[in-house]
């Protein structure tokens, strides 16, 4: 089966399997809250971030307030997420850039988002796709893993994975495709023990990098 055919199979099957696939971070429609939540989500789960952010927003509701927050207080709030010193510093710097350079409003462009400290293409695409409704391929750890296993790309660098996926995924489907593929990674195609025997993609998946039939 060609790569193009695998994409076509996924386009037909993923929306049926995961019609409710979405961003799992709670952000109340606020681009700024989504930006900060996505930065905090590095190397932890969305569920853990959602447990922490209500306390963060109750104390620091705007970019300016978060930028001026005492570092020890920020560290205490984000401590459960791990790497708390780095994360406290990252969200404060991001908030300062939004407050000072963008008038308190998150920029709705890739270039603007990438100018914010701590923001890479994955974070920027989350914000563009979710908060601004723009076509965005969100290459998180799940999408990267499945893209390699399904042989949708041979690249390992997330930015190059995004580029290869963009050649096949129409703009209108990019955000939903990212979430649907990510849901499959969470529920079936796990990092250590993919459930290949029960996977509906088993017949056309090359199982690249997981051995014969995932065993």
- Tokens read off for 92: 């404060």
In the set 101, 122, 156, 193, the catalytic residue is 122
Q: Which residues contact 159 (CB under 8 A, 6 or more apart)?
A: 121, 139
Catalytic site includes residue 140? yes
Residue 57: count other Cβ atoms within 10 Å of its Cβ. Answer: 20
Q: What is the DSSP code (8-state) at residue 173?
A: G
Residue 5, CA distances (Å) to 10, 90, 161 in order? 9, 41, 18
| Chain centroid to CA 167 | 20
SS3 61: coil
Q: Which residues contact 87 (CB under 8 A, 6 or more apart)?
A: 39, 40, 42, 78, 81
Element of type H or E holding 192: none
Measured CA to CA, the distance from residue 11 to residue 9 in angstroms comes to: 5
In the set 26, 140, 156, 202, the catalytic residue is 140
Active site residues: 122, 140
């Amino acid at each position: 089966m060609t790569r193009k055919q695998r994409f076509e199979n996924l386009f037909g099957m993923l929306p049926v399997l995961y019609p409710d696939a979405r961003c799992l971070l709670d952000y109340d429609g606020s681009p700024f809250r989504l930006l900060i939540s996505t930065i905090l989500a590095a190397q932890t789960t969305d569920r853990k971030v959602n447990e922490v952010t209500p306390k963060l927003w109750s104390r620091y509701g705007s970019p300016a307030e978060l930028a001026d927050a005492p570092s020890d207080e920020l560290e205490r709030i984000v401590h459960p997420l791990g790497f708390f010193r780095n994360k406290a510093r990252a969200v404060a710097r991001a908030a300062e850039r939004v407050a000072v350079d963008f008038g308190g409003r998150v920029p709705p462009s890739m270039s603007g988002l990438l100018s914010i400290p701590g923001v890479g293409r994955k974070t920027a695409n989350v914000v563009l796709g979710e908060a601004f409704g723009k076509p965005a391929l969100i290459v998180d750890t799940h999408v990267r893993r499945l893209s390699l296993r399904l042989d949708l790309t041979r690249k390992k660098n997330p930015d190059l994975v995004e580029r290869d996926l963009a050649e096949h995924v129409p703009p209108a489907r990019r955000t939903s495709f990212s979430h649907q593929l990510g849901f499959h990674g969470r529920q079936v195609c796990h990092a250590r023990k993919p459930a290949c025997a029960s996977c509906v993609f088993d017949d056309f998946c090359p199982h690249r990098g997981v051995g014969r039939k995932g065993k």
